[in-house]
Structure 1
Amino acid sequence: MAPQTAFALVTGCGKGGIGEALVIEYQRKGLHSIATILPSESSDHLTDAGISWFHLDVTSDESVEELKNTVRELTGGFLDILVNNAGIAYTMAAIDTDVTEVGRMFDVNVFGPMRMVHHFHDLLIKAHGTVVNIGSVGGIVPYVYGSSYNATKAALQHWSNTLRVEMAPLDVSVLTIISGEIGTNILRRDIHRELPRGSYMAPLADEFKQHVQRSPNTTDRFEYASKVVAQSLKQSPPAWFWYGKTASTVRFLDMFAWRTIWDYIFWASFNLGKLRDAHRTSAGVMKGD
Structure 2
Amino acid sequence: MSPKQNQKFALVTGCGQGGIGEALVTEYKRRGLHAIATVLPHESSEHLAKAGITFFPLDVTQEMSVLELKASVQELTGGRLDILVNCAGIAYTMTAVDTDVVAVQRMFDINVFGPMRMVRHFHDFIILARGVIVNIGSIGGIIPYLYGASYNATKAALHHWGNTLRVEMAPFDVRVITIISGEVSTNILKNDAHRELPNGSYYAPLAEEFKQHVKRTPRATDRFKYAANVVATSLSSSPPAWFWYGSYTGTFRFWDTFGSRTAWDSSLFKWFNLAKLKKAHEASTKKN
TM-score, normalising length from structure 2?
0.98
**CA displacement 1:67-115 (0-9 Å, x = unmatched):** 0011011001100000000000000000000000000000000000000
Alpha-carbon distance between aligned partners in 2 of 1:100 and 1:5, rounded to the nearest angstrom: 43
**SS, match of residue 264 in structure 2:** helix
Offset at residue 285 of structure 1 (A): 1.0
RMSD after superposition = 0.9
In 2: Cα distance, 1:228 partner to 1:4 partner: 23
Match of 1:209 in 2: 211
Report whether the alignment pairs 1:262 with 2:264. yes
Quick one: which of 187, 190, 211 aligns to 1:185? 187
Aligned residue identity for 1:173: R
Which string of whole-angstrom CA distances, capped at 9 and with x for unpartnered residues, describes residues 171-216 of structure 1? 1100000000000000000001000011111000011001001111
**2:238 aligned partner:** 236
- Percent identity at matched positions? 68
Query: How far 1:165 sits from its partner (Å)?
Result: 0.3
- Is 1:135 the equivalent of 2:123? no
2:49 corresponding residue in structure 1: 47
Distance in 1 of aligned mates of 2:148 and 2:208: 17
Question: Structure 1: how far apart are the matches of 2:214 and 2:225?
Answer: 25
Aligned to 2:249: 247
What residue is the counterpart of 1:105 in the other structure? 107
1:272 aligns with 2:274: yes
Match of residue 56 from structure 1: 58
Deviations 1:196-245 (A, max 9, x none): 01111100001100100111100000000000000000112210100000
CA distance in 2, matches of 1:259, 1:83: 30
* Whole-angstrom distance in 1 between the partners of 2:257 and 2:175: 25
How do residues 159-170 of structure 1 correspond to structure 2 at under 5 angstroms? 159-170=161-172
d(CA) in 2 for partners of 1:243 and 1:195?
31
What is the CA distance between 1:39 and its match in structure 2? Answer: 1.2
SS in 1 for 2:6: coil
How many residues get paired?
286
Deviations 1:111-144 (A, max 9, x none): 0000000000000000000000000000001000
State the alpha-carbon separation in 2 of the partners of residues 257 and 76 from structure 1.
48
Give the 3-state SS of the residue equivalent to 1:34 in structure 2.
strand
C-alpha distance in 2 between matches for 1:223 and 1:177: 14
Q: Tell me, in whole angstroms, the C-alpha distance in 2 between the residues paired with 1:165 and 1:284.
A: 55
Paired with 1:176 and 1:276, the residues of 2 have a C-alpha distance of 37
* Displacement after TM superposition at 1:7 (Å): 0.1
Query: Which residue of structure 1 aligns with residue 86 of structure 2?
Result: 84
Q: For the residues of structure 2 that align with 1:126 and 1:211, how far apart are their CA atoms?
A: 45
* Structure 1: stretches of 5+ with no match in the other structure: none
Measured in 1, the distance between the counterparts of 2:149 and 2:261 equals: 16
